[in-house]
Structure 1
Amino acid sequence: MIPNITKGDRMAGLMVYLTGPGKRNEHTEPHLVAGDPAMMAWHDDNELGRNDALAIARHLDRPRRAFGVEVAGGHVWHCSLSLRAEEGQLSDDRWREICEAFVRKMGLDDHEGTKAPTRWVAVRHGVSQAGNDHVHLVVNLVREDGTKADVWGDYGAAQKACRELEAEFGLQRLESAQRDRASRGYHPAEIEADARRRARGKFEAARRQGSESRTWWSLPKDERDGLVAAQRTADQPRWALARTVRACATASADEAEFVRRMRRQGVLVRARYAEGTHDVVTGYSVAAKPEPGQRPIWYGGGNLARDLTLPRLRAEWPDTPQGASAAAAEWGAARRGRRPVAPGREVHEPDPMVWSEVGADLERLREQLRSIPIEDRDTWARVARQTSGAFAAWSARVEGTPGPLAATADALAKTAELRRHPVRPERVPKASAAGAAMLLIAASKGGRGTVAQAAMLRQLANLAKAVHDMHRADQDARRAAEIERAIRGELATVSARLPDPGPVGHAATKAVVAVRTARQGQAGPQTPMGSPIPNRIEPQRPATAATTSTKRDPDPGINR
């Protein structure tokens, strides 16, 4: 359960909004589910209108007006309590119990008999646009005797109260509180601003091409809102950037290569330098190339994801004076818009033999994970980041729009984001999935052919399965279910387009691949080079019973 607190001084305005139609007519049947006894005796659970809202506001405001008390920052304390969409909806009685317990835990009632109570109500008006069941608590911070309710530290207190209520009422537990993980979310205002910016940019591009003669502001409001709504459901730009940056970071052997790979992927890059210097880089920002006439929107690494700050990325790369100097030169070239200073392996085709080496690394990593305890969150976060980066790298090369590979990368990325800066764990597996990202980011240019790529997919799916098993053992059912959906649903669509590689790691399979490579070297390619996956993979739903009854098992390697 997620609390969101705001404060103000317009009680009537807030109540009219909560009982009104909402910004997009999303409010339905607004009514009270809890409140102080006098308020509930009068209104009960009747549907509320504007006149009711004004009457409730007058009732709530009466102690403040009677005593003439002013509260710094506003006397109106507003807190929404929201469930995740997948939790479904609770009954009014259940919400009443939760709200009364929350107000009690926040010290806003008189259950101990030592303080005068506050006046408050809890309004429910249906689910949000994202499908989240929620309620709104409105409290007057001036108590019945004219004293002020103490809400110092209310943000932390509300989080603590919600964690206790989750346990008491059997709600889903917030992951970050239990397991030190927290993903960067999107604020509704950020989603709206992104959607409006992209909708207008696409419209203006069509106007420049001559397919549209009207101006943006001359469009009817309904048509404008429709264009914005279409962009609101699209892949959010910050998530897409995070996926690209994670792919580049995982595929890179050092910081300089990381900068070059980002630029090669079309990302705008700029460094943040230590004060008074032009060669000591302390952070970075990235932006997607904007539509013509639009300005780029910059995101710091930490705003993309917690595991993409420069200090956390640097922990994976060698720390040498030569490497620091090369990285500073590449950051400087990016700042001036010049060509890369020293292009490296990102511009070359990988040696075909590297596929076998990377495959062996993935097999060793899978075996080494068997001895890593679930309490070692740093190691599991590192493995999840590398595996997510490998899928993101493959997606960057073969998916014109975010598809199954991108969805799998996003599911695994959430495990990689720790709230605190991880220390380098003592039991770091010697093997790594970083080599897979380096190969897959060049998958559409060539490689070992479809059999090797199918084997790579199965090995990466098995790494994802290991992360899934860790979450399941840690009793994190929600995160485990997300990864399982990605493996059994999203990756099944990719696996169905690849040949069966046989038992991965089996000697016979390796021999077949070796013979095929030798023959290709003598008589030219016998199979099409490049990725067997179309350059545009449309997102698909998890496979149903009808679509999975094919000749091949659609599960790409789980439990094999």
Structure 2
Amino acid sequence: MIDKILRGWDAKGLVRYLMGAGNHNEHTRPTVIAAWQSDPGALQPLRTGPGDFDFDPDSYVQLLEHINETAEAAGLPRRQPKPGEPGHTKHGYVWHCSLSLGAEDGELTFTQWSEIARDVMERTGIAPADDPGGCRWIAVHHGKSKEGNDHIHIAAVLVRQDSGRRFYPKDDFSKTRTIMREWEDRLGLRVTAINDATAAPGTTRGEQEKAKSRAAEGYHGLARGESDAPAKVQLRQVVTETAAVSNGPEEFLAGLRAQGIVVRLRRDEAGRITGYAVADPEDRDRRTGRPIFFGGRKLAPELSWPKLERGWADVATAHSVTDRAEVTARPHQVVESVAGTVRAAAAAVRDRTEPAEHIARNLQPLLSAWARVAEGAQTRGDLTRASWDYDRAGRSPRNAPKTVAGEAANALRASSRQLSMLGVLSGRGKQRDAGLELALAVSMLLLELGAWYEQRHQLHHADAALSSARSIARFGESTNAVAPSARWKGVHVPDLGRARDRAAVRGSTDRPTSPPPWVPRATPRQGPTLR
């Protein structure tokens, strides 16, 4: 079930839209199915004809007046005040929430939709059932959308009826997302992702257009970034990789500068670094000509300076191995053991220490280090793509408990450090088999992490892990052409998007101790372009 929340200023205008044909004639037979006064039928405009929108004018106007009465009494404007005008604020008092089912979920009854709408109003605090002074609201059901989605709209005026004061919902986005997940479980609907605030900031249309212009002029961006991607995306990729293979702030900053990135630091009164910003020297403001800087937090949640420092502190707890033969032999054994730890964590669903979370976070450095030392442009491309694809899977949800990394996570980070000490993992001789064994082990670990994330309904993370596994599979298939391996032939990576289908199965939180028989991947081998 998908939810979307918007804020505005014109309650009457919103209700006219909901009771009308819509912007593209997408509405059919609008019906008020729930309301603040527990009698939605009394608010439904009388129908005077067979058409979907043949409403009696008097009862239609009465609905508009009822819903807007508290805002009118409070003297609130029906448009956003401009800067400098009285009452200027970016927060509109009209709350609009749309709730939609996927076409594959069928339809809900008016009673079910009404219960969902009341639950949302109750738990967001907008109109609790035992609070007669709560805000006024209505829920309107339309027929299915053009895509076949059953849905409702909730319109609320965020003004209390008893005091006339504006009401400001706290964390309404996250609360509504949680409510939707609970109703999915209750009604047996298709599972959708929870709101974990781990998505990296998107790029604007202007940033995308600038990237196209730079490419047309012959500049394709940073050497370790995705060719022709917007500067923000390339900086995120390079900073993520550099942080992953660094053991401390000095090494991290030196690594960024060595790649031509401009770094700006923020320090406190004692001279300690408290933040940083980075810029591609060729990405400049067209008006001032100065490089455009992005703070670490603006690139991704896990790239803020405090979080990077915590990651380097974890590095200090991981031991190092200097013997080259041991370095090339051990990583796949460590990864295989770690996969077993993730499998055990999935079985212990009530274990609050969540060792798999630390393992997921510490797999990113191993992927980055492996991509750095692999031999051959195509191989490095496949592994770099795997690291980029995995990015979100290594981020912790906003409300994740702060726990100490366990032995498995530390061993994984130590293996990353060992790989980064190599000049090249050549793929020839014994190292060829070592690379193939590592690819096999990492693929199995990614599948375990994907299943673990699905169990927790973190489907964006699950898709990221599976996408990374597909990139690793490209490396394994190319290596397999030279060094066939019966073990590798048994690894099949699921198609992206199937995570939600598997997660929708009800009635069991246990998982098999071996990967399910995934459908073989049929995508042609294609790595990213590195410049």
TM-score, normalised to structure 1, is 0.60
* Other-structure match for 2:476: 495
Distance change in 2, residues 1:12/1:289 (3 Å): farther
1:444 CA drift (Å) = 7.5
1:354 pairs with 2:335: no
Please list, as runs of the form range in 1=range in 2, the aligned pairs for 1:520-559 lying within 5 A after superposition: none
What does 1:422-461 align with in structure 2 at a 5 Å threshold? 422-425=402-405, 429-433=409-413, 435-436=415-416, 439=419, 446=426, 450-461=432-443
Deviation of 1:148 (Å): 3.1
More displaced, 73-82 or 255-264? 73-82
Instruction: From 446, 449, 462, give the equivalent of 1:464.
Output: 446
Q: Distance in 1 between matches of 2:438 and 2:291?
A: 36
Q: Residues 144 and 151 of structure 2 are in contact (CA less than 8 Å); yes or no, is this contact kept in structure 1? A: yes
Alignment correspondent of 1:283: 275
The SS at the match of 2:359 is helix
Q: Who is 2:164 aligned against?
A: 148
Give the corresponding residue for 1:98. Answer: 116
Contact 1:76 1:138 in 2 (8 A): no
Report the CA distance shift for 1:291/1:29 in structure 2 as closer, same or farther (over 3 A).
farther
Residue of structure 1 in register with 2:96 after alignment: 79
Q: Secondary structure at the match of 2:242?
A: helix
Q: Could you say if the C-alpha distance between residues 246 and 293 of structure 1 is closer, same or farther in structure 2, counting changes exceeding 3 Å?
A: closer
Question: In structure 2, do the counterparts of structure 1 residues 403 and 41 end up closer, same or farther at CA, with 3 Å as the change threshold?
Answer: farther
Structure 1 SS opposite 2:247: coil
Matched ranges for 1:300-379 at <5 A: 300-317=295-312, 354-366=327-339, 375=351, 377=353, 379=355
For 1:55 and 1:252, the matched residues in 2 are separated by 65
Q: In 2, Cα distance between the equivalents of 1:17 and 1:461?
A: 50
Tell me, yes or no, if the aligned pair for 2:7 and 2:92 is still in contact at 8 Å: yes
1:9 aligns with 2:9: yes
Give the secondary structure class of the aligned counterpart of 1:432. helix
Q: 1:431 to 1:308 in 2, by over 3 A?
A: same
Q: Secondary structure, in 3 states, of the residue corresponding to 1:496?
A: helix
SS across alignment from 1:283: strand
Measured on the aligned residues, the alpha-carbon RMSD in Å equals 5.4
Helix, strand or coil: the match of 2:171?
helix
Asked if residue 183 in structure 1 is aligned to residue 198 in structure 2, the reply is: yes
1:199 Cα deviation from its structure 2 partner: 1.3
What is the aligned partner in structure 1 of residue 501 from structure 2?
none
Residue 273 of structure 1 deviates from its aligned partner by: 1.3
Question: Does residue 40 of the first structure (1) align with residue 44 of the second (2)?
Answer: yes
- Give the unaligned 5+ runs of structure 1: 210-233, 324-349, 506-538, 555-560
Residue 486 of structure 1 is matched in structure 2 by 467
* C-alpha contact (below 8 Å) 2:210/2:230 kept by paired residues: no
- Structure-2 residue corresponding to 1:269: 263
How far apart in 1 are the matches of 2:292 and 2:51? Answer: 46
Counterpart of 1:59 in structure 2: which amino acid?
Answer: E
Alpha carbons of structure 1 residues 391 and 32: separation in structure 2 relative to 1, 3 Å: farther
Deviations 1:205-248 (A, max 9, x none): 64x68xxxxxxxxxxxxxxxxxxxxxxxx977656544433322
Equivalent pairs counted in the alignment come to 445
Structure 2 equivalent of residue 199 of structure 1 = 209
Q: 1:394 to 1:269 in 2, by over 3 A?
A: farther
**Shift of residue 476, structure 1, vs aligned partner:** 3.9
Identity rate, percent: 17
What pairs with 1:93-132 in structure 2 (closer than 5 Å)? 93=110, 95-106=113-124, 112=130, 114-115=132-133, 118-122=136-140
Assess, with a 3 A threshold, how the Cα gap between structure 1 residues 108 and 148 changes in structure 2: closer, same or farther: farther
> Residue 460 of structure 1: CA displacement?
1.5
Pair 1:63–1:469, CA change in 2 (3 A): closer
C-alpha distance 502-90 of structure 1, shift in aligned 2 (>3 A): same
Q: Deviations over 1:405-432 (max 9, x none)?
A: 1464135324x44535734246565522
Tell me the residue number matched to 2:243.
249
The partner residue of 1:380 within 348, 356, 373 is 356
Distance 1:5 1:147 in 2: 25
Match of 1:167 in 2: 182
What residue identity is the alignment partner of 2:241?
A
Counting only pairs closer than 5 Å after superposition, residues 26-65 of structure 1 correspond to structure 2 as: 28-29=26-27, 32=30, 34=32, 36=35, 37=40, 38-42=42-46, 58-60=64-66, 62-64=68-70
Shift of the 32–263 alpha-carbon distance from structure 1 to 2, 3 Å rule, reads farther
Mark the CA change 1:299 to 1:251 in structure 2 (over 3 Å): closer, same or farther: same
Q: Counterpart amino acid of 1:40? A: Q
What amino acid is aligned across from residue 327 of structure 2 in structure 1? V
Check conservation: 1:454, 1:495, Cα contact below 8 A.
yes
Q: What per-residue deviation string (whole Å, max 9, x for no partner) do you get for residues 307-336 of structure 1?
A: 33333332343699xx9xxxxxxxxxxxxx
1:31-76 Cα offsets, whole Å, 9 max, x none, are: 6454543443447997669x99x96984355524774644976874
The alpha-carbon deviation at position 292 of structure 1 amounts to: 6.5
Between the aligned partners of 1:111 and 1:103, the Cα distance in structure 2 is: 8
| In 1, Cα distance between equivalents of 2:383 and 2:205 | 17
Structure 2 residue identity aligned to 1:184: A
Which whole-Å CA distance do the structure 2 matches of 1:502 and 1:382 have between them?
31
Structure 2: runs of 5 or more not aligned? 78-86, 219-227, 317-322, 489-494, 499-516, 526-531
Report if aligned partners of 1:3, 1:80 keep a CA contact under 8 Å in 2. Answer: yes
Q: What is the distance in 2 between the residues matched to 1:76 and 1:272? A: 38
Q: Aligned partner of 1:424: which letter?
A: V
Assess, with a 3 A threshold, how the Cα gap between structure 1 residues 15 and 493 changes in structure 2: closer, same or farther: farther
Partner deviation per Cα, 1:139-162 (whole Å, 9 max, x = no partner): 23457x77537734x133664465
Deviation sequence 1:340-359 (CA, Å, 0-9, x none): xxxxxxxxxx9576322434
Letter in 1 for 2:164: K
Q: Distance in 1 between matches of 2:253 and 2:445?
A: 27
Deviation, structure 1 residue 281 = 0.8
Q: Distance in 2 between matches of 1:199 and 1:104?
A: 44
Would the aligned equivalents of 1:167 and 1:173 in 2 still touch at CA under 8 Å?
A: no
Deviations 1:159-193 (CA, angstroms, capped at 9, x unpaired): 4465345324535678668xxx541354xxx54xx
